[in-house]
């Protein structure tokens, strides 16, 4: 164990995701179990620069495991992107006698932590917290399971009304750069097509598929669109299809930020607990500049550089499975 680590601080950064509070709880209670002092930084890197740091105890994290969002708040910091901002952050850590950081966030969070270490030698362990599930070094990120279940439940409800009125629905889910939510929720809800940023969308193929379904007297169709699809968002694609496909009444539903909220699933709560505890024990064992993730059911540590530079892509067999099952 690293005897130099006596005081750790944790923060959440970037977009919030369900399971962050479960992870905060695990970090705090694991740290206390091992005799460490634990502090929380409010509003991410911005709060660190401003010195918004408060001590956390066991009671501080009571009754939060079931809550969505993050009790530590979150923010994206332009100031931390500057050397002056990072210098101010390092001074705050020195003033509060904090030895190491645990950062719950995504790619941008870990990029900042990597630069911070190179400039000021502040050890940090990262925990992947993003609903997009697009980080290399883990099979699942905090919040993905909850977000994809939220999307699936919404799509199921939309299917009811689509079927009742013989409608074609385009449902837009989150995923500016990655189509994991679209793929998983589309598979789980039996979508007729799934459009994701990773794979070029050919509208002619989509129209052909819809026409085939119409000839089979299909009473409704659901098309899942990730917001970052190359053909545009759900509204744009729906308008293009409407010009060519007059048979269905076409509707659009954008699920938006509801996918970020809500009580985390059992999986996300357990994942937050496992990764939170692993991050603390990793710091104590002398690990730093690494992300704690879950691969094949086991906790693993991946250097920030690898997690940042490598791109996690959707398995093509999932896309192929969706197309086969919708045929």
Nearest of 227, 252, 234 to residue 174 by alpha carbon: 227
Longest dimension (CA), the chain: 71
Phi and psi for 177 in degrees, rounded to 5?
A: -120, -10
Dist CA 108 CA 128 (whole Å): 11
Q: Helix or strand or coil: residue 187?
A: helix
Active site residues: 132
Distance, in Å, from the CA atom of 239 to the CA atom of 252, rounded to the nearest integer, reads 10
Block residue for tokens 């502040």: 122
10 Å Cβ neighbour count for 251?
A: 16
Q: Look at residue 239 and give its three-state secondary structure.
A: helix
Ordered strands of the 221-226 beta sheet: 193-195, 221-226, 167-173, 249-254
For residues 168 and 251, the answer to whether their CB atoms sit within 8 Å is yes
List all residues 6 or more positions away from 303 whose beta carbon is below 8 Å from its beta carbon. 289, 290, 291
């Amino acid at each position: 164990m690293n005897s130099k680590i006596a005081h750790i601080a944790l923060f959440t950064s970037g977009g919030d995701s369900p399971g962050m509070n479960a992870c905060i709880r695990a970090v705090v209670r694991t740290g206390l179990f091992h005799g460490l002092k634990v502090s929380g930084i409010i509003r991410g890197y911005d709060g660190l620069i401003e010195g918004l740091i408060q001590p956390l105890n066991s009671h501080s994290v009571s009754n939060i495991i079931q809550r969505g969002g993050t009790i530590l708040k979150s923010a994206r910091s332009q100031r931390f992107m500057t050397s002056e901002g990072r210098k101010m952050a390092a001074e705050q850590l020195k003033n509060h006698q904090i030895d190491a950081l645990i950062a719950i966030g995504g790619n941008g969070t870990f990029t900042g932590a990597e630069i911070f270490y190179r400039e000021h030698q502040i050890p940090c362990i990262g925990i992947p917290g993003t609903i997009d599930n697009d980080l290399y070094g883990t099979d699942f990120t905090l919040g993905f399971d909850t977000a994809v279940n939220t999307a699936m439940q919404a799509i199921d409800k939309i299917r009811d009304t689509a079927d009742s009125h013989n409608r074609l629905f385009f449902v837009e889910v989150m995923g500016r750069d990655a189509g994991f939510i679209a793929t998983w929720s589309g598979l789980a809800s039996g979508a007729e097509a799934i459009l994701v940023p990773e794979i070029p969308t050919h509208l002619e193929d989509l129209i052909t598929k819809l026409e085939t379904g119409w000839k089979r007297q299909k009473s409704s169709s659901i098309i899942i669109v990730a917001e970052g699809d190359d053909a545009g968002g759900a509204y744009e694609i729906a308008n293009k299809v409407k010009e060519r496909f007059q048979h269905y009444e076409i509707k659009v539903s954008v699920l938006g930020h509801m996918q970020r909220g809500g009580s985390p699933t059992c999986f996300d709560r357990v994942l937050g607990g496992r990764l939170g505890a692993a991050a603390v024990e990793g710091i104590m064992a002398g690990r730093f500049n690494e992300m704690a993730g879950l691969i094949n059911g086991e906790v693993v540590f991946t250097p920030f550089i690898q997690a940042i530079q490598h791109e996690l892509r959707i398995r093509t067999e999932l896309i192929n499975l969706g197309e086969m099952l919708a045929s």
